[in-house]
Chains A and B, each alone.
Chain A
Amino acid sequence: MSRELHRFKGGVHPPDHKAESNRRPVHAAPLPKKLVIPLRQHLGNPAKPVVEVGDPVKKGQMIAAADGYISAAVHASSSGVVTAIDLQPVPHISGLPDLCITIETDGRDEWIDHAPLDYLAVEPSQLRMQLRDMGLVGLGGAVFPTGVKLDPGATQQCPTLIINGGECEPWITCDDVLMRQHAGEVLEGVAIMRHLMGSTEILVGIEDNKPEAIAAMRAAAARLDFAVEVVVIPTLYPSGGAKQMTEILTGKQVPSGKRSTDIGLQVFNVGTAYALARAVHHGEPLISRLVTVTGHVLRPQNFEVLIGTPMHTLITLAGDRDGTTGVLMGGPMMGVPMPNLDVPVVKATNCILVKSKELFPPLPNALPCIRCTRCADACPAELQPQELFRFAKAGDFGRAQEYHLFDCIECGCCSYVCPSHIPLVDFYRYAKSEIWAHEKDKRASDLARERHEFRQFRLEREKKEKAEKLAAKAQAKRAELAAVPPAERAVPSDADAKKALIAAALARAQAKRSDAAPKNIDHLTPEQLHQIEEIEARRAKIRELARQPLESEEKNT
Chain B
Amino acid sequence: MLAAIGVMVVLAVAIGLVLGWSAIRFRVEGNPLAEKIDAILPQTQCGQCGFPGCRPYAEAIAKGEADINQCPPGGEEGVKKLADLLGVEPKSLDETHGTPKPKSVAFIDERTCIGCTLCIQACPVDAISGAAKQMHTIIAAECTGCELCLPPCPVDCISMVPIAEDLPHWKYKHPVVMLKLVAETESA
User: When A and B assemble into the complex, do they touch directly, with CB atoms less than 8 Å apart?
Assistant: yes
Q: Which A residues contact B (CB, under 8 angstroms)? A: 40, 90, 92, 94, 96-98, 365-368, 422-423, 426-427, 429-430, 432-434, 437, 441, 444-449, 451-456, 458
Contact A437 B171 (CB under 8 A): yes
* Contact residues in A for B177 (Cβ distance below 8 Å): 366, 422-423
**A96-B43 contact in complex given A365-B182, A454-B126, A455-B126, C-beta closer than 8 Å:** no
* Contact residues in B for A447 (Cβ distance below 8 Å): 142
Contact with A445, one of B42, B171, B175 (Cβ below 8 angstroms): B42
Contact B45 A448 (CB under 8 A): yes
Contact A429 B54 (CB under 8 A): no
B4 within 8 A of A: no
Q: How far is the CA of A453 from the CA of B177 in the complex (A)?
A: 45
Contact B127 A451 (CB under 8 A): yes
Contact A451 B165 (CB under 8 A): no
Q: How far is the CA of A475 from the CA of B57 in the complex (A)?
A: 40
**Subset of 27 A-B contacts with CB under 8 Å:** A40-B167, A92-B167, A96-B166, A96-B170, A97-B167, A98-B167, A365-B179, A366-B179, A367-B179, A368-B179, A422-B177, A423-B175, A423-B177, A427-B175, A430-B171, A433-B172, A434-B171, A434-B172, A437-B169, A444-B144, A445-B41, A448-B44, A448-B45, A452-B45, A453-B55, A455-B126, A458-B126
> Which chain B residue has the least Cβ–Cβ distance from A430?
B172
B38 within 8 A of A: yes
* Contact residues in B for A451 (Cβ distance below 8 Å): 125-127, 142
Q: How far is the CA of A366 from the CA of B177 in the complex (A)?
A: 7
Contact indicator per residue, chain B 151-170, by CB within 8 Å of chain A (1) or not (0): 00000000000000111011
Q: Which of B115-135 contact A (CB under 8 A)?
A: 124-127
* Contact residues in B for A368 (Cβ distance below 8 Å): 179
- Shortest distance in angstroms between A434's beta carbon and chain B's nearest beta carbon? 7
- Shortest distance in angstroms between A439's beta carbon and chain B's nearest beta carbon? 12
* Contact residues in A for B127 (Cβ distance below 8 Å): 451
* Contact residues in B for A426 (Cβ distance below 8 Å): 172, 175
Q: Which of B39-72 contact A (CB under 8 A)?
A: 41-45, 53-55
* Contact residues in B for A90 (Cβ distance below 8 Å): 167
B173 within 8 A of A: yes
Contact with A455, one of B124, B166, B172, B175 (Cβ below 8 angstroms): B124
- Shortest distance in angstroms between A386's beta carbon and chain B's nearest beta carbon? 14
Contact B171 A452 (CB under 8 A): no
* Contact residues in A for B142 (Cβ distance below 8 Å): 447-448, 451
Q: How far is the CA of A423 from the CA of B125 in the complex (A)?
A: 43
The 10 closest A-B pairs by CB, nearest first: A445-B43, A448-B43, A451-B125, A433-B172, A426-B175, A430-B172, A94-B170, A366-B177, A449-B43, A433-B171
> Which chain A residue has the least Cβ–Cβ distance from B170?
A94
* Contact residues in B for A92 (Cβ distance below 8 Å): 167, 170
- Shortest distance in angstroms between A471's beta carbon and chain B's nearest beta carbon? 24
Q: How far is the CA of A454 from the CA of B126 in the complex (A)?
A: 9
* Contact residues in B for A367 (Cβ distance below 8 Å): 179
> A433-B171, A448-B142, A449-B43 provided; 18 other pairs, C-beta below 8 A?
A92-B167, A94-B167, A94-B170, A96-B165, A96-B167, A97-B167, A426-B175, A433-B170, A445-B41, A447-B142, A448-B45, A448-B144, A449-B54, A449-B55, A451-B125, A451-B127, A452-B45, A452-B124
Q: Which of B77-94 contact A (CB under 8 A)?
A: none
* Contact residues in A for B38 (Cβ distance below 8 Å): 449
- Shortest distance in angstroms between A98's beta carbon and chain B's nearest beta carbon? 5
B174 within 8 A of A: yes
- Shortest distance in angstroms between A410's beta carbon and chain B's nearest beta carbon? 11
* Contact residues in A for B166 (Cβ distance below 8 Å): 96, 98
* Contact residues in A for B43 (Cβ distance below 8 Å): 444-446, 448-449, 452
> Which chain B residue has the least Cβ–Cβ distance from A436?
B171
Q: How far is the CA of A426 from the CA of B165 in the complex (A)?
A: 20
Contact with B125, one of A96, A97, A430, A452 (Cβ below 8 angstroms): A452
- Shortest distance in angstroms between B150's beta carbon and chain A's nearest beta carbon? 18
Q: How far is the CA of A423 from the CA of B177 in the complex (A)?
A: 9
> Which chain B residue has the least Cβ–Cβ distance from A92?
B167
Q: How far is the CA of A441 from the CA of B44 in the complex (A)?
A: 11
* Contact residues in A for B144 (Cβ distance below 8 Å): 444, 448
Q: How far is the CA of A449 from the CA of B144 in the complex (A)?
A: 10
Query: Which of B167, B169, B182 has most A Cβ within 10 Å?
Result: B167
* Contact residues in A for B169 (Cβ distance below 8 Å): 437
* Contact residues in B for A446 (Cβ distance below 8 Å): 43
* Contact residues in B for A40 (Cβ distance below 8 Å): 167
- Shortest distance in angstroms between A433's beta carbon and chain B's nearest beta carbon? 4
Q: How far is the CA of A451 from the CA of B144 in the complex (A)?
A: 11
* Contact residues in B for A441 (Cβ distance below 8 Å): 42
Q: How far is the CA of A365 from the CA of B182 in the complex (A)?
A: 8
Q: How far is the CA of A451 from the CA of B182 in the complex (A)?
A: 50
Q: How far is the CA of A265 from the CA of B52 in the complex (A)?
A: 55
- Shortest distance in angstroms between B175's beta carbon and chain A's nearest beta carbon? 4
> Which chain A residue has the least Cβ–Cβ distance from B127?
A451
* Contact residues in A for B174 (Cβ distance below 8 Å): 430
- Shortest distance in angstroms between B146's beta carbon and chain A's nearest beta carbon? 9
> Which chain B residue has the least Cβ–Cβ distance from A98?
B167
> Which chain A residue has the least Cβ–Cβ distance from B53?
A452
* Contact residues in A for B41 (Cβ distance below 8 Å): 445
Contact indicator per residue, chain B 10-49, by CB within 8 Å of chain A (1) or not (0): 0000000000000000000000000000100111110000
Query: Which of A422, A446, A453 has most B Cβ within 10 Å?
Result: A453
* Contact residues in A for B182 (Cβ distance below 8 Å): 365
Q: How far is the CA of A423 from the CA of B104 in the complex (A)?
A: 33
- Shortest distance in angstroms between B46's beta carbon and chain A's nearest beta carbon? 10
* Contact residues in A for B124 (Cβ distance below 8 Å): 452, 455
* Contact residues in A for B126 (Cβ distance below 8 Å): 451, 454-455, 458
Q: How far is the CA of A451 from the CA of B44 in the complex (A)?
A: 11
> Which chain B residue has the least Cβ–Cβ distance from A448?
B43
- Shortest distance in angstroms between B57's beta carbon and chain A's nearest beta carbon? 12
- Shortest distance in angstroms between B30's beta carbon and chain A's nearest beta carbon? 14
* Contact residues in A for B175 (Cβ distance below 8 Å): 423, 426-427, 430
* Contact residues in B for A430 (Cβ distance below 8 Å): 171-175
* Contact residues in B for A433 (Cβ distance below 8 Å): 170-172
Q: How far is the CA of A97 from the CA of B43 in the complex (A)?
A: 31
> Which chain A residue has the least Cβ–Cβ distance from B143?
A448
Contact A455 B167 (CB under 8 A): no
